C-alpha cells in the first residue's frame, strides 16, 4: 500500500468534479512525463491512497482524498488527434503513455500551499521540493498520517 499526491487543475477536474463523475471515478489521462508515468505503471496498485491537489489556481493545495481504482492502462488521448494530449509518435501496438483510474473518497478542507510549507513535519515532502514539477509524487507514510490524522483529524479507517 502506497501513498501519493496527484495534481489536478480544478478548471480541468476539481475534487467536486471528481465527486460528480459517474462512479465518482476518472481516468487520470494526460500525463506526459516519464517519471510520473512510471509511478503509475510500476508502483501504483489498486487501493493506494491519494492526496488530491489543486494546482495552477488561485488557492493551490490539498483539496481531498482519493484512491487508485485501476491498474495502469494505455491513455486513450495519446491516439486522439483532436486531443491536446495527442502524441503522433505513439503507436497503438506500443503505447507510450498510460494512466490509472482514480476514485473519489472524500473532500476535505483545503490545506493551502502556504500551510503545507509552514508545517515542519512536511518539510521533506516531495511535492514541496524546490523546482519540483512532477504532477504525481510519492508521499511518505509518516507524511500521510500527519496530514490525515493531525491536520484533517481523520483516521484512515474512517475514510
Partner DNA sequence: GCCAACGTTGGC
Q: How far is the CB of 114 from DNA (least distance, A)?
A: 6
Give whichever of 124 and 156 is closer to DNA, judged by the CB atom. 124
Q: How far is the CB of 118 from DNA (least distance, A)?
A: 11
Give whichever of 89 and 120 is closer to DNA, judged by the CB atom. 89
Site size toward DNA (CB under 7 A) is 18
- The C-alpha angle 138, 26, 98, rounded to 5 degrees, equals 60
Give whichever of 22 and 131 is closer to DNA, judged by the CB atom. 131
Binding of DNA by 19 (CB under 7 A): no
Binding of DNA by 131 (CB under 7 A): yes
Binding of DNA by 60 (CB under 7 A): yes
Stretch that binds DNA, among 16-24, 27-35, 72-80, 99-107 (CB under 7 A): 27-35
Relative to beta strand 3-8, strand 49-54 is parallel
Cα separation values, 21 from 74, 77, 103, 109, Å: 20, 18, 9, 20
x/- contact string, 79-108, with DNA (CB under 7 A)? Answer: ----------x-------------------
Give whichever of 62 and 69 is closer to DNA, judged by the CB atom. 62
Q: Which grid cell is 6?
A: 496527484
Contact residues for DNA (CB under 7 A)? 7, 32-35, 55-57, 60, 89, 113-114, 130-135
Amino acid at each position: 500500500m502506497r501513498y501519493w499526491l496527484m495534481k489536478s487543475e480544478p478548471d480541468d477536474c476539481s475534487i467536486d468534479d471528481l465527486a460528480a463523475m459517474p462512479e465518482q471515478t476518472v481516468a487520470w489521462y494526460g500525463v506526459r512525463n516519464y517519471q510520473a508515468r512510471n509511478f503509475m505503471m510500476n508502483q501504483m496498485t489498486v487501493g493506494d491512497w491519494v492526496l488530491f491537489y489543486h494546482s495552477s489556481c488561485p488557492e493551490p493545495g490539498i483539496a481531498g482524498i482519493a484512491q487508485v481504482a485501476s491498474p495502469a492502462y494505455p491513455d486513450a488521448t495519446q491516439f486522439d488527434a483532436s486531443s491536446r494530449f495527442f502524441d503522433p509518435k505513439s503507436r497503438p501496438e506500443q503505447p507510450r503513455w498510460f494512466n490509472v483510474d482514480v476514485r473519489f473518497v472524500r473532500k476535505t478542507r483545503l490545506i493551502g500551499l502556504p500551510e503545507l510549507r509552514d508545517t515542519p513535519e512536511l518539510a521533506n515532502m516531495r511535492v514541496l521540493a524546490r523546482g519540483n514539477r512532477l504532477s504525481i509524487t510519492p508521499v511518505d507514510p509518516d507524511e500521510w498520517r500527519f496530514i490525515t490524522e493531525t491536520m484533517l483529524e481523520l483516521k484512515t479507517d474512517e475514510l
